[in-house]
Structure 1
C-alpha cells in the first residue's frame, strides 16, 4: 500500500543518502523500538538525571501529571540518550528543560541550553528571513526567482521563468521527493551556488504546482537568494536579523558549530546493528538554509512565543509584522491525508498542507502550525496551537520520531482536556506490527 506524504517527508528524503549517513538516517521514523519499560527505574547509559529547574514556569497545568516520569519512560522505550523539551503557553515559558545525557555512556547532562541540530525546523527561519526582505520591499513573495537570481535555472524552461519566491518554500515545483539531496550529502567541494546551478540537470517528476513533494534544494536556493538581495550570507542574516533579535543567543546558524570543542552540545546517536551508538556530527554547511541551525530548549521557547504572538517581541518591538505572520502560516500546497494506524486514530486529520516553512494541519479539531526535522543522529519537532497560545518543541539526539511525538501528543491532550493516551505504548505497538510484517516478508 502506498502512503501519502506525511510529517516526516524530510526524514525519508535524506534516507536515500549513501554511506554511514544512510545507515543512520534510515532508522529515523522506521527503526523498531524496544517494548516499553515500566515508568520506574532507570536504564544505565540511556536516560540520565533531569537537568536543574526550568528557566521559568507558569500555568503548569498544561503539563501532564508526572511529566518528568513520562519523558523518562519515553526515552527508555525508544532508547533516546538525551532530550530537550520546551513548552510555552499564553505568552510565557512553562518549561524549558533537558533530560538524559549529551552522549551515551558519559555523565554530562542535557540542560535547557544544550544544543541540538534542529534540521528542517530551520526552514521556518529561512522563510521568516525572506519575510523580512518582503517587508523591506526588496523582494516579493510572488516575484519570479530570476529577478533576484538571474542565473537560476530549472530543468524545464517554463518553470525557470515562472517559479517564484513563494514556490521555493512550498514543495510544489515538480521536483520529486528528496530530489537533489545527493548534491548535499555526502559533503562535496561544490559551493552552494554550484549546487543550486545543478538544478537544471534534475528532471521534474510532476508538472509545475500540481503536487506536493518535499525537497531541500529549493531552500538552499532560497538561502542564495537571501545572500544576493541582502548582501550578506544566509548565516550572517539569520544570526543578526533573526536569532539575535529574537534573543536566541545560544543558537547558531552553522551546523558545523555543533562540532566545536568544549561546547554544550548533544552528540548525535543512531540505532545501528549493534544498538544505539554515537555517530559523527555532520559538519556540512552547504545545507544550512534547509536544515543547519543548532538550538536549545530555551531558545526554541523564545521562537515559539514570537510566532504565537504574531511576530511581537517581549520588549514590545517586532521581529516581523502581522502580514508576514499570516503569510508564514497560510496553507499553500495541500498534502494528501492518510488513515493513521488504529492505535493512532486520534491523530486522524481533517486537513494538512504546507505553508511557508511550516506545515499546517489539525489535531482534535484545532489548527496546528508545525514542522519536523531529521539529520543523522538528530530528530525534532515543533508544534504550535495558535488558538490556545500553546507551543511544544522536542529536540532529541537519537533518530526516533516516535519519541518526540509521544511527548508532544501527551502535552496536547492535556491542554485540550482530551482523555490521556499512552502514546509510547501506541507507537510501540505500531512498530511491533510493522516489524512482524517485515520479518514475514523477508521469510517469504
Structure 2
C-alpha cells in the first residue's frame, strides 16, 4: 500500500537545507505495511485519461509512460509512432534519447569507481586530467571531482554548449578540455547555481581516466550490464540492429516532421556524459526501481554510502514561482545528477531531459517507493510539464481537482501574456549584399568555438561555422543590425551579429535574437576577432 512520508524527518531535512547545511538523504524506504498492491482499475483508467488528454492537447507523435507504486510497476502506456506517419508503433522497447537524464547515470558510474577505491570525490580534477584548466588558475587547482557534477563552477548558464549542439558537429572532448580555460566565469566559484553541460563531459573523462576505459565502455560495464538495462545504448550503434528507435520531431503546421533523423550508423557523440544516452521505457523503469526498491544484488552494485552521496543536496537552486504555486515547494537543490525538492510536503528526487525534439522526465518519491517515467519524441516541453504535474499529484495531492487541460490552459495563458515574449518581429529582415558588408567580410576566430566565415555566397552573404556545420545561414539585416536566421528544422535560436573596430582590431560579438531563448545557444560567451579575408 502507498505510504505517506515521515513529516518530522522531512521538516528536519528542509530546515537543514534552508540553514545552508548539506542533507544526507537516504535512498532506502522502510518495510511497507501490508502487501504491495497493483493499481486499481480506476487508477489505470485515470492514468489512461491523463496520457490521452496530453497526446490530444499537444498532438504528440509518440509517448511512453510508466508508473511505479510501492516498488512495483503498476502502469505502462505507449502511444503513437517512432516516426510520424510511418505506422511503426512506439513500444516499451522503443529507444528514446533521455538527454540530461543521462547525468544521473554518469554520476552513478563515478560513484561505482569511488566505491571501488579507484576515484576520490574530494580529489582535484587535475589528478586525473592534468591538462584540465578553467579560466581562473586558482579554480583549476581547487576544482574537485565532486564540483564537476553540481553546477556551481562559476561557468555561465549553458557556457560552451555551442561545442555540443546543434548536432552533428566536429568538436571533440579534447576541444572541450582545451576550450574551458577561455570561457569567462559569470559568478564566483561555488558561489551560486548555473546549469552547465561541459563539466559533465569532463566528469566522463575523469571516469575514463580512473576506470581505465572510454566513457561509453564504462557505462556499459558499470551500469547497463550489472543492472540488466539491455536496451540502453551509448556510443556508436547500427540503427538496423537496434530494434525500435524513436526519432525526434518538431511541429510544422498541423503535423509533426522528423528533425535530426538518425543515419544508418549512429555515431558516438562528444556530449554523451551530459546527455547522450538512449533507453527504453522498460529499462528506465528498471533504473528507477533500482533507486526506489533496490534488491540485495543492486545494493552490492552500489551500496548505501554512495547512494546517500548521490542524493545529498549540494547546490541550492532558485525556486521558480510556478513550482511554489503548484507544488508548495520550499527547498530545491542539485545533488550528483539528481534534483531534490519537497512537493506538497513530500520528498522528491528527479531530473528532466531536453534534446532537440526529445523530452524525458523521471520523478521519484523515495519515501513512498513510487514514481514515474515520461519519454516523448516531439515538441513536448509543455506536454511533459503538465503530464508530470498531474502524475505527481496522484501521489502528493490525490483528488486535488486539476486535470491536464487545467494546467495546459494556465501555461498557454502565461505564454500569451503581453509581457511574456521579448523576441522582436524579424519578418521584416532583408538579405544582405556582399558590397554593403564589405567591411566585415572575412574569417573570424573565437578562442574556444574556433573559426566562422562570413563570406559572399551567390547574391548574398553566408555565415558558416567551421566546426559546427549546421550553423550555416544567410546573413540578413533588420534595422541597423545584422542577424542570422537558421533553418527551422535545426530549431536553433537566431543570432544577432554585432561588429566593431577597424582593421586587424575588428571584433564580432553575437547575442540571441530572443533574449529568453534556450541557454545552450550561448552566443554571448563568444568573442571573435578578425583573422583573414575570405578565400
The TM tier, using the shorter chain, reads 0.7 to 0.9
**Equivalent of residue 212 in structure 2, options 228, 231, 241:** 231
The structure whose residues are more often strand, as a share, is 2
Q: Distance in 2 between matches of 1:430 and 1:334?
A: 26
Between 124-133 and 196-205, the greater mean CA deviation after superposition: 196-205
Equivalent position of 1:292 in the other structure: 276
Separation of aligned partners in 1, 2:238 and 2:58? 23
CA deviation string 1:133-175 (max 9, x = no partner): 1111111111111111111111100110001111000000000
**Following the alignment from structure 2 to structure 1, what is the Cα–Cα distance between the partners of residues 192 and 162?**
22
From 322, 325, 337, the counterpart of 2:319: 337
| 2:226 counterpart SS class | coil
1:384-395 aligned within 5 A:
384-395=364-375
More moved, 203-212 vs 407-416:
407-416
Q: What stretches of structure 1 of length at least 5 have no aligned partner?
A: 1-56
The residue number in structure 2 matching 1:323 is 305
Which of 138, 143, 151 is the matching residue for 1:158?
138
5 Å-filtered alignment, 1:213-232, equals 213-232=194-213
Does structure 2 retain, via aligned residues, the 8 Å contact 1:89–1:389? yes
How far off is 1:258 after superposition?
8.2
In structure 2, the gaps of 5 or more residues are 1-35, 426-535
- Residue in structure 1 matching 2:175, options 160, 177, 194: 194
- Residue pair 1:96, 1:301 contacting (<8 A) in 2 also: no
TM-score by length of structure 2 reads 0.67
| Partner deviation per Cα, 1:410-443 (whole Å, 9 max, x = no partner) | 2222223341311333223322342242699768
Choose 1 or 2 for highest CA Rg: 2
What CA RMSD, in Å, does the superposition of the two structures yield over aligned residues? 2.4
Structure 1 residues 334 and 225: CA distance shift in structure 2, 3 A = same
How many angstroms apart in 2 are the aligned matches of 1:190 and 1:319? 34
What SS does the corresponding residue of 1:185 show, helix, strand or coil? coil
Q: Deviations over 1:47-104 (max 9, x none)?
A: xxxxxxxxxx952149464322320110111121111112112222112331221111
- Where relative contact order (Cα < 8 A, 6+ residues apart) is larger, the structure is 1
How many residues align? The count is 382
CA distance in 2, matches of 1:146, 1:260: 41
Q: Where does 1:29-178 land on structure 2 (aligned, <5 Å)?
A: 58-61=37-40, 63=43, 65-178=45-158
The Cα of 1:189 is off from its aligned counterpart by: 2.9
Shift of 1:407: 2.4
Structure 1 residue matching 2:322: 3-state secondary structure: coil
